Chain A
Amino acid sequence: MKFGILVNEGPYQHQASDTAYQFCKAVLAKGWQVQRVFFYHDGVNNATKLTEPPQDDRNIVQRWSRLAEEHDIDLVVCVAAALRRGIREDNLAPGFRISGLGQLVESGIQADRLVVFGD
């Protein structure tokens, strides 16, 4: 089964990105597929490599990057939402790419389930 994921909130401020990450790990643990994770609204802030959390806290951005690398997951940041919030190619963390909202709609069409995480 293929899951599309939508993350609508930024890291640390809301639990949405944490829950989405744990959900993705559980999907993979079952041998199912994460078709794409799409970041929208303030969710685009999950993609900046400039994030530096305190040492004793989880690194939400790196966690996504690692998940993408280990499981070949497509992490897509909405271009319009990203530009509004100062997220650009040159501050993108590894594994993320910037593209259009069409990628979210495509996820809704192609994935068996689309699950939304937000505020």
Chain B
Amino acid sequence: MSNVKKFVFVNRKAPYGTIYALEALEVVLITAAFDQDVSLVFMDDGVYQLKRGQQTQAIENKNFSPVYRALEGYDVEKLYVEREALAARALTEDDLLVPVTVLSSAELGALIDSQDVVLSF
């Protein structure tokens, strides 16, 4: 177990406009497969990744939002969302497609501080 590190993925970008959110998710899944301690943070426009009701047919992009719902099956259960980021975008927890823990900016900062490896996409 000495090889288990705490990885946090800080998602600050919206989906589809760029590929970062999708490719970040690919790293999350692999990190979970390595039995690491994985946390996901969604702040700034990253909270849009979790918005319910994404319909991507007309832009001919793969809708990867169902993957967030499947994370639980990979033992990735620590999803944190910044309260201030939701409020700034007129979103509430009910708008999100998975259960999350909503934290204040300062609480999120402390959480990121406690991690061994920080990957921001």
Contacts and interface: CB of A to CB of B under 8 A. Distances in A.
| Direct touch of chains A and B (CB < 8 A) | yes
B64 to A, nearest CB: 13
Interface string B29-54: 01101101000000000000000000
Given A41-B20, A101-B26, A109 B119 contact: no
Judged by DSSP, the binding face of B is mixed
Interface residues of B, number: 19
A114 B117 contact: yes
B27 A104 contact: yes
Interface string B4-23: 01010000000000011001
B5 A108 contact: yes
Contacts of A118: 120-121
6 nearest CB pairs, A to B: A101-B30, A108-B117, A105-B34, A105-B31, A114-B117, A105-B30
Interface of A: 6, 8, 40-41, 80-81, 100-102, 104-106, 108-109, 114, 116, 118
